[in-house]
């Protein structure tokens, strides 16, 4: 039973501008439903812009603007923690001049063929997941464009969401997956590498795809759509309890980058049912392991006309300045999600069995699969991960070289030494976050 | 594309998965009308950043080399080699003769990254045909930035004889047409721009003794 956080209102066909031309609410699958009027989200009220303006407090503001990471790879791959902005590829990509639409438009008599082509192009460029959504006004940001770095200006910024989706009826969602093995060292610089490198690669792919659509003679708008809405509507995945889009192949280890709104003739994909709805009702693994208790244990709620699990993004966000020395992106909820597994046969078998199982019988299957997941994968991962000199077996705050055979004289670390055991250490422990995160109980 | 059967792959059987795609030829072979629509130009023209003022605590040259290669593989390189630039052997120099060996003295090592190329970027000018170049630029941009963040100099040298250096690094051999042929991918490869660096590395292949 969903709880309503806001006063419910009559379903209206009028948008915020009073135009009586909004199409009916789209079907988004079983994991999320539009049950009331949706006020388009102002991108300026989303977490990163609020923090950029200092509205989330000094620690977060300083963390965002004034911290340089100790880790060379993080300085290259993570937003805002670089020593030299020119080393961060997304800056280069976001600030680049936007190309023009080719006046020699390619005719598209068969939209299905073009859909297959665009997906093949995105995959060829390196995207792991590509899907197409039918645009809906509720998927679009209100007002100006969303971009974290640089500009995303276009000629349609004054156009209302309802009119935009009439002119540009399709959203292309193309994304990259994080490396599974590195992600096991979540709350660690190794996990950061999995997250951030795939993120900047995804940015590059989307920029190239945007350019290619323009070369075909069609418009491609960025910074217009909310990625989660487009991801769910296009069938990339379903919205989980952790607030992440969960894909059948990669689970929660996919980015939801800024999608492309376009007038290229395409055929939209449909939302999927991978039993995420059934699993999240029972599992609660992400809620149990979240270091900041930002993920709800209870039922879905109605927020801004949308019935979904509502995470507390502010408490999730507030952890970051305190752990800056150890990692940049938490990723715990994505890592522990039972859907987040390597792309191997037993994972395919499990997701296939969930998909094909009749809905009434799914709870029993979910209980069985969760038991297997807890038994073999673990309730929370603390395995030791080693990668290119990084080692999660070294306790936070300690320094040691554990690379076998290294005889370099490391200043402050001493020569290479063997660290026994197969336990990874990931800061902070959940109980240590009490001092800056209020808990209900 | 190599046909894959589960864990096995049959390199001799090629499957053209795009033969029914009426737009594929445009993607591969039609050059961009506006270069601002390509990613390759904007990465290539991006200015290099500064070297981080504090040198990172690095391992032995052999281990550092393996980490550089591991990082390049993680960024998407299919083959990676390291060469010692022959400052006193102009015939092997990747740089124009006018450089006179000075750059090789400042940057004693070259990192060679090779990516798979289903289409030869030299004959396929479309955005699709340039995808191997795009991938190569991504690798060299992030890898060279990472080396600079380690506190060592690194620059991407576009005007280098990459294929020759790749052969020196032991990644393959040069065929009669002057193309790099690798054991694993044949001639279906693109050699990315070389990263010149002073990061202490251990060279591969015949480059140990140029």
State how far residue B196 is from chain A, nearest Cα, in angstroms: 16
A183 touches chain B (CB under 8 A): no
How is residue A33 written in tokens? 């439903």
DSSP H or E run through B80: strand B79-84
In this prediction, residue B11 carries a pLDDT of 52
Report chain B residues whose CB lies below 8 A from the CB of A207. Answer: 39
**A271 or B9: which carries more pLDDT confidence?**
A271
The partner residue sitting opposite B74, judged by closest CB among A124, A197, A216, is A197
Nearest CA in chain B to A82: B149
Alpha carbon of residue A394 to chain centroid: 29
Cβ atoms B175, B164 nearer than 8 A: no
The pLDDT profile of chain B, 210 residues, written as one tens digit per residue, is 444 454 455 554 455 578 899 999 999 999 999 999 999 999 999 998 999 999 998 999 999 999 999 999 999 999 999 999 876 555 556 566 555 556 667 899 999 999 999 999 999 999 999 999 999 999 999 999 999 999 999 999 887 788 989 999 999 999 988 899 999 999 999 999 999 999 999 999 654 433
Report chain B residues whose CB lies below 8 A from the CB of A210. Answer: 37
B7 touches chain A (CB under 8 A): no
CA distance B86 to B92: 6
In this prediction, residue B97 carries a pLDDT of 58
Average pLDDT, chain A: 88
The partner residue sitting opposite A102, judged by closest CB among B33, B38, B66, is B33
**A133-172 residues touching B, CB cutoff 8 A:** none
Cβ atoms A188, A327 nearer than 8 A: yes
Q: Across residues A263-276, what is the average pLDDT?
A: 97
pLDDT above 90 coverage of chain A, percent: 63
In this prediction, residue A149 carries a pLDDT of 53
| Structure confidence by residue, pLDDT tens digits, A113-123 | 999 999 999 99
* Yes or no, beta carbons of B59 and A106 under 8 Å apart: no
Q: How confident is the model at residue A436 (pLDDT cuts 50, 70, 90)?
A: low
Interface mutation target, options A151, A200, A204, chain B, most CBs of B under 10 Å: A204
Cβ atoms A276, A31 nearer than 8 A: yes
A411 touches chain B (CB under 8 A): yes
B25 touches chain A (CB under 8 A): no
A111 touches chain B (CB under 8 A): no
Mapped onto helix, strand or coil, the DSSP state of residue A36 is: coil
CB–CB contacts below 8 A, A to B: 159
CA distances from B202 to A273, A300, A435 (A): 52, 57, 48
CA distances from A317 to A350, A365, A396, A400, A436 (A): 33, 34, 21, 30, 11
| Structure confidence by residue, pLDDT tens digits, A158-184 | 888 999 999 999 999 999 999 999 999
Predicted-complex ipTM score:
0.90
CA distances from A179 to A193, A195, A197, B4, B157 (A): 9, 8, 9, 21, 30
**A64-103 residues touching B, CB cutoff 8 A:** 72-73, 75-77, 83-89, 92-93, 96-100, 102
């Amino acid at each position: 039973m969903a709880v309503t956080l806001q006063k419910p209102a009559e379903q209206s066909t009028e948008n915020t501008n009073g135009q009586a031309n909004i199409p009916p609410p789209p079907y988004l699958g079983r994991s999320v439903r539009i049950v009331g009027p949706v006020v388009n989200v102002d991108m300026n009220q989303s977490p990163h812009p609020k923090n950029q303006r200092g509205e989330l407090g000094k620690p977060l503001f300083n963390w965002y603007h004034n911290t340089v990471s100790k880790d060379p790879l993080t300085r290259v791959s993570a937003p805002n923690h670089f020593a030299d902005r020119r080393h961060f590829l997304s800056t280069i990509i976001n600030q680049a001049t936007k190309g023009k639409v080719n006046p020699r438009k390619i005719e598209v008599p068969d939209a299905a063929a073009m859909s297959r082509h665009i997906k093949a192009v995105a995959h060829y460029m390196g995207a792991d997941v590509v899907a197409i959504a039918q645009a809906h006004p509720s998927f679009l940001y209100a007002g100006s464009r969303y971009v974290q770095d640089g500009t995303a200006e276009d000629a349609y910024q004054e156009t209302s969401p309802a009119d935009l989706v009439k002119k540009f009826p399709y959203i292309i969602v193309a994304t990259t997956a994080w490396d599974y093995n590195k992600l096991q060292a979540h709350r660690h610089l190794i996990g950061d590498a999995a997250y951030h490198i795939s993120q900047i690669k995804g940015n590059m792919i989307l920029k190239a795809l945007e350019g290619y659509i323009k070369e075909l003679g069609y418009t491609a708008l960025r910074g217009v759509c909310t990625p989660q809405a487009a991801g769910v509507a296009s069938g990339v995945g379903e919205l989980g309890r952790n607030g992440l889009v969960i894909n059948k192949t990669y689970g929660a280890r996919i980015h939801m980058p800024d999608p492309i709104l376009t007038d290229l003739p395409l055929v939209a994909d449909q939302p999927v049912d991978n039993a995420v709805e059934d699993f999240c009702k029972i599992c609660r693994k992400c809620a149990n392991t979240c270091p900041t208790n930002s993920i709800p244990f209870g039922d879905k709620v109605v927020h801004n006309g949308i019935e979904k699990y509502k995470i507390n993004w502010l408490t999730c966000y507030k952890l970051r300045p305190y752990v800056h020395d150890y990692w940049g992106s938490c990723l715990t909820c994505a890592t522990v999600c039972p859907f987040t597994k390597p792309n191997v046969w037993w994972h395919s078998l499990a997701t296939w069995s969930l998909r094909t199982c009749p809905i009434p019988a799914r709870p029993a299957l979910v209980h069985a699969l969760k038991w297997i997941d807890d038994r073999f994968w673990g309730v929370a991962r603390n395995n030791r991960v080693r990668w290119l000199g990084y080692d999660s077996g070294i306790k936070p705050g300690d320094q040691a070289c554990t690379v076998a055979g290294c005889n370099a004289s490391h200043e402050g670390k001493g020569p290479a030494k063997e660290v026994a055991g197969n336990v990874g250490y990931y800061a902070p422990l959940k109980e240590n976050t009490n001092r800056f995160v209020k808990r209900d109980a | 594309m190599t046909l894959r059967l589960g864990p096995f792959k049959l390199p001799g059987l090629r499957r053209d998965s795009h033969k029914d795609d009426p737009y594929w030829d445009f993607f591969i072979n039609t050059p961009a009308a506006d270069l601002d629509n390509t990613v390759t130009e904007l990465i290539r023209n991006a200015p290099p950043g500064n070297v981080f003022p504090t040198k990172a605590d690095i391992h032995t040259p052999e281990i550092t080399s393996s980490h550089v290669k591991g990082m390049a593989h993680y960024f998407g390189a299919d083959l990676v080699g390291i060469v010692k630039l022959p400052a006193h052997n102009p015939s092997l120099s990747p740089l124009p003769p006018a450089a006179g060996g000075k750059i090789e003295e400042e940057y004693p090592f070259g990192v060679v990254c090779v990516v798979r190329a289903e289409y030869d970027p030299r004959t396929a000018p479309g955005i699709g045909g340039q995808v191997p170049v795009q991938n190569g630029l991504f690798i060299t941009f992030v890898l060279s930035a990472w080396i600079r963040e380690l506190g060592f100099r690194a620059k991407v040298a576009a005007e280098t004889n990459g294929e020759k250096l790749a052969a020196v690094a032991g990644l393959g051999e040069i065929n009669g047409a002057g193309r790099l042929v690798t054991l694993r991918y044949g001639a279906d490869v693109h050699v990315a721009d070389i990263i010149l660096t002073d990061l202490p590395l251990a060279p591969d292949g015949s480059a140990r003794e140029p």
